[in-house]
């Protein structure tokens, strides 16, 4: 545990006290130390909603405020997801193995109600346009239901649902189908419909996974998406977490920044879950962002509702909102991108040595941000990461400034795509054992 100055004793006691109370409320089903090994980040389960089954650090998810309004201070908690009406795709043993959760962020009640009203309208629109598929050539298939698809193979499981490789029988199109079970918990259903709403609005962005359509049953929502080959996190496990070459990082970073900038500029959306398992690749060198279940609608460029994410990628201002004001903006995702770049460049998550979520969060708040060694990486990459990991978010750049950085401009070329495709094909052929 890192040393904490006397001026931080209150925060220290508050986090410990909140965690202890929530441990008691959940019957002591978890301790701060997870039930699985923390020696390597890759040993832990994550929520991907993509073709992978493990992740870097403990998954954290938002839950609604008990008062019906926006949540307040950051809260560490634990407790089986089964108690929250979660998908029955998971066994009780798998649920017990899930890490703790965190609530971060918040905003004034009136802003919270504005966002909720927007979500209600989105839900109505979604229900009116279900049960059809639209492909790139303009072909439309209506009245689609589960019997219209042929199951080929499982691709992965996450806390939001199960991803299956399936074929649309009438067209022969092979797709990735994300199957998410609805529950009686409003927050769980909100994530499902937020994920769907965002991908439906982003069909014109080449850096976001494409959605062909969806259908809704009494118990489930199925989202039919283009089939990508892998996610970065899964590829890294195949590569035994070897460092990713810098030119590959460059193109990956270009695509992610463009996707995040598109979300903000065109739709007023913040992703809130940027990490390697939510970055997809295919054999043509395309890199696309996915999984928008915990994305948030921005109000006057600020996030107003409770949020979620993986502890190791959460920005300092989201961990301790009382210090900086209750609202945050897209620069929180810029921090997450910086952490992901350090992890991929070095082959190790910068907070992998932390043994508890509490220790990890205190490290993010109290220690200097991670840096890359200038003797091993280019000046451009080191400077880009340092900007992304600026601790004071007011001094951290937004996307338009990042797009002008030399590191981005260096790799924003068609040739980079071809290099990524070649590198990906070579590395995806590696044996799995």
Q: Scanning the structure block, which residue is given the tokens 């006290």?
A: 17
Tokens of 102: 């965190």
| Beta bridge partners of residue 150, listed in sequence order | 167
Three-state DSSP at 38 gives coil
Nearest to 330 by CA among 270, 290, 273: 270
Task: Give dist(CA 8, CA 362) in Å, integer.
Answer: 10
430: buried, middle or exposed (CB in 10 Å: 19+, 13-18, 0-12)? Answer: exposed
Q: How far apart are CA 103 and CA 73, in angstroms?
A: 8
DSSP 244: P
DSSP 255-312: HHHHHHHHHHHHH-EE----SGGGEEE-TTS-EEE---TT-EEEETTEE-S-B-EEGG
Annotated active-site residue 373? The verdict is no
| Residue 77 neighbours by CB under 8 Å, 6+ apart | 19, 22, 25, 26, 63, 100, 101, 102, 103
The position carrying tokens 């035994």 is: 240
> From the candidates 273, 291, 329, 357, which is the catalytic residue?
273
**Alpha carbon of residue 375 to chain centroid:** 31
Reduce the DSSP state of residue 5 to 3 states and report it.
coil
d(CA 242, CA 345): 9
Question: Which residues, 6 or more positions from 196, have their beta carbon under 8 angstroms from its beta carbon?
Answer: 126, 211, 214, 221, 223
Output b/e per residue, 224-236; b: 16+ Cβ within 10 A. Answer: bbbbbbbbbbbbb
Strand-strand pairing, 296-299 and 302-303? antiparallel
Q: CA 131 to CA 145: how far, in whole Å?
A: 6
**Alpha-carbon dihedral angle through residues 314, 320, 321, 322, given to the nearest 10 degrees:** 180
User: Which residues, other chains included, contact 55 with Cβ-Cβ below 8 Å and sequence gap of 6+?
Assistant: 41, 42, 44, 45, 46, 47, 48, 233, 275, 277, 310
Give catalytic residues, as residue numbers: 273
């Amino acid at each position: 545990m890192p040393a904490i100055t006397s001026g931080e004793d209150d925060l220290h006691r508050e986090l410990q006290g909140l965690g202890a109370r929530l441990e008691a409320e959940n019957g002591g089903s978890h301790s701060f130390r997870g039930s699985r090994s923390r020696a390597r980040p890759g040993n832990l389960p994550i929520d991907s909603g993509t073709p992978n089954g493990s992740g870097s650090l403990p998954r954290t998810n938002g839950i609604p405020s008990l008062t019906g309004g926006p949540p307040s201070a950051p809260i560490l908690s634990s407790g089986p997801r089964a108690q929250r009406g979660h998908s029955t795709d998971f066994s009780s043993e798998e649920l017990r193995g899930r890490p703790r959760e965190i609530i971060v962020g918040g905003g004034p009640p009136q802003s919270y109600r504005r966002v909720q009203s927007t979500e209600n309208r989105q839900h109505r629109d979604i229900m009116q346009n279900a049960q059809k598929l639209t492909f790139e050539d303009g072909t439309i298939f209506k009245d689609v239901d589960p019997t219209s698809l042929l199951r080929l193979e499982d691709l992965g499981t996450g806390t939001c649902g199960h991803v299956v490789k399936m074929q649309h029988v009438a067209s022969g199109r092979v797709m990735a189908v994300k199957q998410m079970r609805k529950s009686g918990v409003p927050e769980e259903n909100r994530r499902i419909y937020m994920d769907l709403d965002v991908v439906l609005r982003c069909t014109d962005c080449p850096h976001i996974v494409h959605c062909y359509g969806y259908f809704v049953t009494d118990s489930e929502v199925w989202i039919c998406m283009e089939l990508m080959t892998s996610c970065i996190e899964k590829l890294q496990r195949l590569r035994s977490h070897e460092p990713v070459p810098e030119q590959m990082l460059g193109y990956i970073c270009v695509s992610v920044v463009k996707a995040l900038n598109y979300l903000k500029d065109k739709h007023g959306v913040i992703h809130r879950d940027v990490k390697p398992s939510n970055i997809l690749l295919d054999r043509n060198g395309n890199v696309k962002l996915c999984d928008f279940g915990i994305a948030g609608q921005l109000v006057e460029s600020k996030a107003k509702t409770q949020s979620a994410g993986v502890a190791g990628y959460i920005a300092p201002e989201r961990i301790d909102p009382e210090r900086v004001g209750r609202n945050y903006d897209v620069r929180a995702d810029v921090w997450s991108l910086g952490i992901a770049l350090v992890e991929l460049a070095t082959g190790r998550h910068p907070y992998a040595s932390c043994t508890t979520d509490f220790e990890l969060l205190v490290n993010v708040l109290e220690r200097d941000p991670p840096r890359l060694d200038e003797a091993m990486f280019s000046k451009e990459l080191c400077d880009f990461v340092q900007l992304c990991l600026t601790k004071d978010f007011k001094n951290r750049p937004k996307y338009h400034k990042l797009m002008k950085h030399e590191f981005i401009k260096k790799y924003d070329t068609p040739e980079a795509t071809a290099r990524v495709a070649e590198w990906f094909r070579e590395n995806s052929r590696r044996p799995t054992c």
